[in-house]
């Protein structure tokens, strides 16, 4: 009886941990997709950069409080460089631009364009790197851009609208910024705690975004912000920036990276479906087919790079 208990308990514990990790991953897949809807809801009632600034200030402050309470040390000297660079690339530009974009385009379209960042990583490699790219990465790139063409075919008339063109450019800028931030993270990985770093990045970007919003007059008085915007902001801070990220960290610690990466393919689908339900956003066969082709291309690119990195690690 005792021997059986000693063997079974760790097994059940591991099984329970994996189940909780899968639940956490499911939450990330769904909840990060809903943040596009919350952002779209918020920018209907207040300027986008002001909203993004408040979101990052609040989220960063909560993270810093938690890690300082845990006794985390502040970065020193050169450790500040990646924190500052990533606060610009991954949050100030990426979140600022994509939030601004959904003032002019649908949440679903914004989510799909954001999901194309692996395509831009391949483009950057082709233009500035001498590294030979895997065939699957090239195929994925071609498929990805084919999917973009299919989606934009359905929006040809919308391109006559300057606001729509501006929203697309903002979204593309956000995707490019995330791609550059991803490459920088891989090349300039810091020994400084990445989770505390995220809180610092959010706080710094919140200060920058709020400064830009105030400096350009893209703000409204706090007393004039309606409850709908405050509700969207609260959701983005609590669910999007804190709860979902904690779920992501838990899944990251207990699931393989390949399995975890599925959230990147589900987030746009959630955003498209909820956008159609919540805002009556256009849902057509072109968006469905184009989005599917883009995600297949992104999958091929991610798979090719993971295989390349695995071969590199094995050779060292």
Q: Where are the domains positioned within the chain?
A: 28-315
Tell me, letter by letter, the H, E, C secondary structure of the chain: CHHHHHHHHHHHHHHHHHHHHHHHHHHHHHHHHHHHHHHHHHHCCCCHHHHHHHHHHHHHHHHHHHHHHCCCCCCCHHHHHHHHHHHHHHHHHHHHHHHHHCCCCCHHHHHHHHCCHHHHHHHHHHHHCCCCCCHHHHHHHHHHHHHHHHHHHCCCHHHHCHHHHHHHHHHHHHHHHHHHHHHHHHHCCCCCCHHHHHHHHHHHHHHHHHHHHHHCCCCCCHHHCCHHHHHHHHHHHHHHHHHHHHHHHHHHHHCCHHHHCCHHHHHHHHHHHHHHHHCCCCCCHHHHHHHHHHHHHHHHHHHHHHHHHHHHHHHC
CA distance 164 to 115: 19
Can you read off the two tokens belonging to residue 298? 């992104």
List of residues 6+ apart from 69 with CB closer than 8 A: none
Whether residue 52 contacts residue 103, with contact meaning beta carbons closer than 8 Å, is answered with no
pLDDT tens series, the chain, 316 aa? 344 334 334 444 455 688 888 898 889 889 999 999 999 999 999 999 999 999 999 999 998 888 888 888 888 888 888 889 989 998 999 999 999 999 999 998 999 898 888 888 888 877 776 667 778 888 888 888 888 888 888 788 888 899 999 999 999 999 999 889 888 877 665 556 677 888 899 999 999 999 999 999 999 999 999 999 999 999 999 998 888 888 887 887 887 766 677 787 888 889 988 998 888 887 788 888 888 888 888 888 877 777 766 666 556 5
Whether residue 240 contacts residue 11, with contact meaning beta carbons closer than 8 Å, is answered with no
List of residues 6+ apart from 54 with CB closer than 8 A: 206, 210, 233
User: CB count, 10 Å around CB of 173?
Assistant: 18
Amino acid 4: pLDDT: 38
**pLDDT 10s digits, 40-98:** 999 999 999 999 999 999 999 998 888 888 888 888 888 888 889 989 998 999 999 99
Amino acid 223: pLDDT: 93
CA distance 248 to 251: 5
CA angle 228, 231, 233 (to 5 degrees): 110
CA distance 255 to 85: 29
* Predicted structure pTM score: 0.83
Amino acid 191: pLDDT: 59
Whether residue 268 contacts residue 115, with contact meaning beta carbons closer than 8 Å, is answered with yes
Can you read off the two tokens belonging to residue 18? 């994996």
């Amino acid at each position: 009886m005792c021997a059986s208990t000693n063997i079974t308990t760790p097994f059940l514990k591991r099984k329970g941990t994996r189940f909780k990790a899968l639940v956490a991953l499911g939450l990330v897949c769904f909840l990060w997709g809903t943040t596009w809807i919350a952002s779209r809801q918020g920018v209907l009632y207040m300027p986008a950069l002001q909203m993004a600034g408040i979101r990052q200030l609040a989220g960063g402050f909560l993270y810093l409080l938690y890690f300082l309470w845990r006794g985390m040390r502040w970065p020193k000297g050169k450790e500040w460089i990646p924190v500052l660079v990533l606060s610009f690339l991954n949050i100030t530009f990426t979140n600022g631009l994509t939030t601004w974009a959904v003032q002019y385009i649908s949440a679903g379209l914004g989510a799909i364009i954001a999901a194309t960042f692996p395509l831009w990583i391949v483009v950057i490699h082709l233009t500035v790197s001498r590294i030979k790219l895997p065939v699957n990465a090239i195929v994925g790139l071609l498929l990805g851009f084919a999917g973009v063409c299919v989606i934009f075919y359905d929006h040809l008339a919308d391109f006559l609208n300057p606001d729509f063109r501006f929203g697309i450019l903002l979204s593309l800028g956000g995707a490019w910024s995330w791609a550059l931030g991803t490459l920088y993270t891989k090349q300039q990985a810091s020994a400084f705690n990445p989770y505390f770093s995220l809180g610092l990045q959010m706080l710094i970007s919140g200060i920058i975004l709020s400064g830009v919003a105030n400096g350009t007059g893209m703000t409204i008085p706090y007393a004039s912000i309606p409850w709908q915007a405050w509700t969207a902001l609260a959701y983005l801070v609590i669910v999007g920036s804190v709860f979902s990220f904690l779920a992501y960290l838990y899944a990251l610690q207990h699931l393989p990276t390949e399995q975890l990466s599925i959230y990147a393919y589900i987030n746009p689908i959630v955003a498209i479906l909820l956008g159609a339900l919540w805002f009556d956003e256009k849902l057509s066969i072109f968006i469905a087919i184009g989005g599917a082709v883009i995600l297949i291309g992104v999958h091929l690119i991610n798979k090719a790079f993971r295989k390349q990195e695995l071969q590199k690690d094995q050779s060292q």
